[in-house]
Amino acid sequence: MKSRIFSLAATALAVVALGACSSPLVSTSPASRTATVHTTSTTVALSPTAVSDLQSQFVQVVKTVSPSIVQIDTAGGLGSGIVFDSQGDIVTNAHVVSGFTSFTVTTSTGTRYPATLVGTDPSHDLALIHVSASGLTPAVFGDSSSLQVGDVVLALGSPYGLHGSVTQGLVSGLGRQVAESRSVVLDGLIQTSAPINPGNSGGALVDLNGAVMGIPTLGAGAGDGVGFAIPSNNVVSVAEGLLQTT
């Protein structure tokens, strides 16, 4: 319920932003300093407290999830990853580590570790790598089947090597099928308006409770506002399968 309340507030904030660059949609009362957003069918009032609470929720989610997000460097480029368990296993996209067996993982604190490949599942574009490190913070994975179009989500990762970056958007669609390459077609993807840029691959798409709901895997193009993520339920199933086969 909490995340749905914040989703409503975020939607209202988006309408406020649009009002600044198009026809007037927003009126304010100097006495109460409460923004009133007029739509075609409803009126939503956002008090300063509600706006402050929403902002605090965003900040808290980032603080909670960031320790579980890592940057992965290979001889051919970089991507992102999510700490899967306390044993040092990290889940990422298969295309991030494809063709390599050793990597460098950089944690949110800047600590660097050598990593080795545990296994890959190219058909789902998922892979598992391992670092020998203690004190890592495993992410909390949510139930991606509970997502609804319109939910607010944040994407955390290392786009263009900018470690610890965060973007925000909505769940724009569910159950999408996208051809990642001629040989790999991914089913059941989450479509999101959160910007997904090179380096975001393998990072986290999280809800406002701080639960990982997907792994960003590709974007349609810079500025298009169309990105795709592998649902968390698929991620957990594949990762656990890779662990069992090693």
Q: Could you say which of 3, 144, 201, 232 is catalytic? A: 201
Please pick, among 73, 89, 125, 151, the residue that the annotation labels catalytic.
Answer: 125
Concerning whether 95 is annotated as a catalytic residue, the answer is: yes
- CA distances in angstroms from 27 to 21, 23, 24, 34, 61, listed in the order given: 14, 12, 8, 9, 30
The count of other CB atoms within 10 Å of the CB of residue 204 is 32
Torsion of CA 42, 48, 52, 53, to 10 degrees: -60
Q: DSSP E strands: which ranges in 62-143?
A: 69-74, 77-83, 89-92, 102-106, 112-121, 126-131
Return the DSSP state at 108.
Answer: T
Distance CA 176, CA 229 (A): 10
Q: Let me know if 201 is a catalytic residue.
A: yes
- The vertex-222 CA angle with 202 and 72, nearest 5°, equals 25
Of 80, 89, 95, 172, which is the active-site residue? 95
User: What is the total residue count of the chain?
Assistant: 246
CA-nearest of 2, 246, 13, 12 to 130 is: 246
Catalytic center residues: 95, 125, 201
